[in-house]
């Protein structure tokens, strides 16, 4: 299977300098094809060479360079399905709500275990939300105002939309936050769980059914069917255990600064770059960005 090897440096690090490439020049099949000088380069390979990938990781291990092996065919995807918390934004919104409710340590501990796949996501979500009962809903607006967006996210969404792709934010978080993030970054649509609020207070419950790992896979399938696409036309990105299903199901699944179990499950892992690295994966050069 015709394969492409990509090396992608953290933005502005210039880690793919000629000097650094000399470390691995003997391992690579000729000169690079540059997507952006000093930041992203690729080579054609006759087959999927995981041994080469491991050798390159060892040789470049001290540099902020991501390595990806991907099929050459169908690189430019027509659907983006993305997680929100710790992917498109730096925060875990449920942890921030827990801190506001005075239950920060308990909520954060549950989140950590759930994202590593050690707890059932749905049960863990109900348990954490219950700790927020009685919290004023105004805290949601306060947290929205402090949203810390991941670099490269808006560029990724805008560029894919410009080239005809559909974009969907699909989160195990809450619609109160995904609505804001989707609007600010330009997603066509968003899907998440709904916190139940009454009389200006968070009620400690979430509307059923809960959108979790299986629901993300279902959403991916429903989106491709509605848009007349196939799973192979989709690229998915996330960081936690509840993203593994959609990462494994899509034509290209990306673990973004993810937990170890997610990195192990993904086709591609981005540990150093920002979200715009997903454009290099899809054969967009730097000048193609919008």
| Residue 85 annotated in active site | yes
209/214 Cα distance (integer angstroms)? 11
Long-range contacts formed by 248-256: CB under 8 A, 24+ apart: 249/217, 249/220, 249/221, 250/81, 250/220, 251/74, 251/77, 252/70, 252/75, 252/77, 252/281, 252/282, 254/278, 254/281, 256/87
245-252 CB contacts, 8 Å cutoff, 24+ apart: 245/213, 245/214, 245/216, 245/217, 246/81, 246/170, 246/216, 246/217, 246/219, 246/220, 249/217, 249/220, 249/221, 250/81, 250/220, 251/74, 251/77, 252/70, 252/75, 252/77, 252/281, 252/282
Task: Report CA-CA distances (Å) from 27 to 45, 49, 52, 244.
Answer: 12, 12, 8, 31
Catalytic annotation present for 83: yes
Task: Say which of 12, 44, 83, 233 is annotated catalytic.
Answer: 83
Distance separating alpha carbons of residues 158 and 162, to the nearest angstrom: 6
DSSP result, 203-239: EEEEPSSP--HHHHHHHHHHHHHHHT--GGGEEEEE-
- Which is catalytic among the residues 38, 49, 62, 85? 85
What are the C-alpha distances in Å from 19 to residues 13, 16, 24, 31, 96? 13, 8, 10, 14, 43
**Residues with catalytic roles:** 83, 85
């Amino acid at each position: 299977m015709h394969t492409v090897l990509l090396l992608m440096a953290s933005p502005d690090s210039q880690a793919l300098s000629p000097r650094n490439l000399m470390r691995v020049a003997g391992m690579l099949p000729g000169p690079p094809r540059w997507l952006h000088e000093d930041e992203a380069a690729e080579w054609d390979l006759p087959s999927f060479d995981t041994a080469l990938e491991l050798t390159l990781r060892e040789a470049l291990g001290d540099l902020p360079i991501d390595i990806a092996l991907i099929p050459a065919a169908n690189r430019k995807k027509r659907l983006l399905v993305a997680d929100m918390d710790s992917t498109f934004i730096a925060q875990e919104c449920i942890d921030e709500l827990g801190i506001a409710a005075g239950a920060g340590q308990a909520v954060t501990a549950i989140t950590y275990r759930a994202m590593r796949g050690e707890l059932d996501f749905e049960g863990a979500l109900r348990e954490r939300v219950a700790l927020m009962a009685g919290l004023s809903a105004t805290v949601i607006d306060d947290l929205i105002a402090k949203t810390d967006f991941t670099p490269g996210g808006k560029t990724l969404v805008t560029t894919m939309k410009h080239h005809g792709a559909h974009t969907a934010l699909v989160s195990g978080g809450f619609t109160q936050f995904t609505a804001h993030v989707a609007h600010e970054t330009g997603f066509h649509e968003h899907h998440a769980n709904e916190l139940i609020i009454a009389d200006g207070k968070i009620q400690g419950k979430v509307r059923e059914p809960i959108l979790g790992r299986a629901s993300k896979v279902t959403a991916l399938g429903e989106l491709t069917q509605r848009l007349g696409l196939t799973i192979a036309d989709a690229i998915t990105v996330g960081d936690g255990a509840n993203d593994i299903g959609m990462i494994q199901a899509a034509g290209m699944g990306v673990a973004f600064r993810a937990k170890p179990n997610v990195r192990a499950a993904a086709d591609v892992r981005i540990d150093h770059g920002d979200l715009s690295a997903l454009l290099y994966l899809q054969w967009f050069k730097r000048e193609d960005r919008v």
